[in-house]
Amino acid sequence: MEPKNILLEMKDYIIEMGAETINWCMQCGLCTNLCPWRLVPGQTSEEFNIRYMQRLGQMGIEGFEDENMLFACSTCGMCQNNCPRGVKIIDNVRAMRASIVGGGMAPSGLRPILGSCHANGNPWSGPRENRTKWQEGLDIAQFGPDTEYFLFVCCHSCYDPRSMKIARSIAQLLQKGGVSFGVIGVEENCCGESMRKVGDEELFQKLAGANIELFNAKGVKKIITTSPHCLWSFKNDYAKLGAEWEVLHYTEVLGKLVAEGKIAPSVKSDKKVSFHDPCYLGRHSDIYDAPRGLLNAIPGIEVRELGRSGESSLCCAGGGGRIWAEVPMGERFGELRVLDAVATGAEVLATSCPYCVNMLTDACASLGKQDALEIRELSELLVDSL
């Protein structure tokens, strides 16, 4: 086949995989200027340039050589939310990645993660039976026909010891508020949000298909997620596959409990706290008030807004599969975010996403700021206050 025709076929494939708006891009470059990669010292436009990536897509990814560029986007949504042509930039990135990963050329660093999801249903190479380890010492009910909510715990909080504390705090708060909820546990699979974002469409379909079958068989109607990534995936990717559940992030449920007086934080705190909006809770799901309402419910806390917050929140760099990327010190968005918090005089940087907690904790350590700034999940601060 003529090389030109191969490129045309590739472009058709990318469009079929979701890059339906690739031709809307007029190459204005606003996206590149808003991208957090622009803030990383020493980055040049050759290293990561989202405008150029859209052009590559328009040309059937002609000239694609550098997998680092294709897989560098953290899908934070900053560019997409501001594109004057309404280009669905993240779908385009995902589709381009799918054309590479679907051809068996996933970046080497991602292969063990994807392999573990195929084999174990989680990216942590963790045995299925350990999915419930976070529950040790707690009395968590199994989801059943009389349970109102199914609590879906992110794989990160099932397997990572630091993150398990987040799942434990959320479950304790829900219990305290008298919410009828239960877990399914070992039969669950990863929601697959990050796997789809890195372009492994086949794996995502496998995980999502199994979850939809399982949740429906158990009679699930309402889901509470611990992570904004699972929230987004269930509400968007899964909805397109026919799932019809009501899906809420835990901050929304707790916000209601606090408003109704079913949870009353009472232990005073004298901390100065900044809140980092996770991209998948804020920009992608439009949830800004619920976490702030919870923070403000803790007596004594002094909330100090970060300079870049709400819709302009700076990404921690954990989305789009970047949570698994090896990024040299000095090139981590999380480090910039930690410095944002230090600049407000905050003693605690709170957030409400397991990926953000992970990325910000690493960034804080790499900057040597652990003594000045604590990284906490909002649910943990609330438990401390009860």
Interface contacts to ligand SF4, rule CB under 6 A: 25-31, 34-37, 50-51, 54, 73-79, 83-85, 87, 89-90, 315
Containing 361, the helix (H) or strand (E) segment is: helix 354-366
- Measured distance CA(338)–CA(274) in Å, rounded: 10
Which tokens in the block code for residue 144?
């059943």
Min dist CB 315 to ligand SF4, Å, is 6
Least distance to ligand SF4, CB of residue 188, Å:
28
Nearest residue (CB) to ligand SF4, 26 versus 217 = 26
The residue (of 89 and 254) whose beta carbon lies closer to ligand SF4 is: 89
Q: Which is nearer to ligand SF4, 89 or 164 (CB)?
A: 89
Whose Cβ is closer to ligand SF4: residue 51's or residue 249's?
51
Residue 21 or 226 having the CB closest to ligand SF4 = 21
Question: Strand order in 149-152's β-sheet?
Answer: 181-182, 149-152, 222-225, 246-249
Is the Cβ of residue 73 or residue 257 nearer to ligand SF4 in the bound state? 73
What residues contact residue 103 under an 8 Å CB cut-off, 6+ apart?
none
Alpha-carbon distance values, 89 to 238, 296, 335 (Å): 20, 35, 25
- Cβ neighbours for 227, distance < 8 A, ≥ 6 positions apart: 154, 156, 157, 280, 353, 354, 355
Query: Which CB, 70 or 297, lies closer to ligand SF4?
Result: 70
Containing 48, the helix (H) or strand (E) segment is: none
Please state the closest distance from residue 24 (CB atom) to ligand SF4, in A.
7
Strand order of the β-sheet with 272-276 is 302-303, 272-276, 348-351, 374-377
Nearest residue to 316 via CA among 347, 348, 275, 355? 355
Q: How far is the CB of 180 from ligand SF4 (least distance, A)?
A: 37
Residue 134: strand, helix, or coil = helix
Question: Minimum Å distance from CB 54 to ligand SF4?
Answer: 5
**Can you state the angle between helices 89-101 and 3-16, rounded to 10 degrees?**
120
Kindly state the smallest distance separating residue 330's Cβ from ligand SF4, in Å: 17
Least Å distance, CB 105 to ligand SF4, is: 21
CA–CA separation, 313 vs 286, rounded Å?
Answer: 12
